[in-house]
Chain A
Amino acid sequence: MIMSVYVQQDLFDLQSITQQLKKLHNSGASVTFEGYVRDFDLGDDKLEMLELEHYPGMTEKALLNIESLAMNRWHLDDVYIVHRYGKLKVGEPIVGIVVFAKHRKEAFDACHFIIDFLKTDAPFWKKEITNHQSYWVDAKKIDDGKWN
């Protein structure tokens, strides 16, 4: 059982990470989630860049905690989380999650659980920079209790 979290400015390649990790395990399934910077266009207000701020130290702790919660809840072979910060362009990946397990249901459920928890517990904040202005993204209302 391996856990790993990476918080970085650089791009990542989830496909090659998955291929590397696959060699380490005799898993029956892997589920990956990759989140991207989504383009939007409100009239002449066009997204140019996303800037992600985080809380160094707490971020890594929070991500490791989320991995532990998932590991305790499902029987998993491996969990890998990578999250970027800094300036990100439209279409670039922001977050990547790979979960390996013996069976698909565990891998699916754990991956879903991890991205949901990450969105409420990992201290990242998005600022959208358009060709006219910049503003902090408001947090969406989360349906608490889903994973209780």
Chain B
Amino acid sequence: MKIKLFYFAKVREMVGIDQEEVDVESDIKTLAELIAFLKLRGSQWQAIFDMSSSFRMAINQELAEASCKINANDEVAFFPPITGG
């Protein structure tokens, strides 16, 4: 199952890329499971995702919670808490 991933601001700098496409097993059904999969990549990935206060998520450009379901071809984004305005 293919998912598009986008990273912004401090999260983008920590992971070193701004976007990618991943092909994950279909048993990954939620954002929480996707995060567990990404954390296997190493310490920078763990550092971001171990602290719930350090990042927010969106699915198809809408803010989402860890329990939200993901589907094939979804656009998932990870970014720090918002500081606009």
Which A residues have a C-beta under 8 Å from some C-beta of B? 35, 52-55, 57-58, 61, 83, 94-95, 115, 118-127, 136-139
Total A-B Cβ pairs within 8 A: 69
Q: Is the CB of A121 within 8 A of B82?
A: yes
Query: Nearest chain-B residue to A117 (Cβ)?
Result: B85
Which B residues have a C-beta under 8 Å from some C-beta of A? 6, 8-10, 58, 61-63, 77, 79-85
From the candidates B9, B58, B61, B84, name the one contacting A136 in the complex (CB within 8 A): B9
Contacts A57-B61, A58-B58, A136-B80 given; indicate if A124 touches B85 (C-beta within 8 A): yes
Q: Is the CB of A122 within 8 A of B77?
A: no
Contacts A53-B8, A55-B58 given; indicate if A139 touches B81 (C-beta within 8 A): yes
Q: Is the CB of B84 within 8 A of A83?
A: yes
Give chain A residues whose Cβ lies under 8 Å from the Cβ of B79: 55, 123, 125
Q: Is the CB of B82 within 8 A of A125?
A: yes
Q: What is the CB-to-nearest-CB distance from B32 to chain A, in angstroms, rounded to a whole number?
A: 21
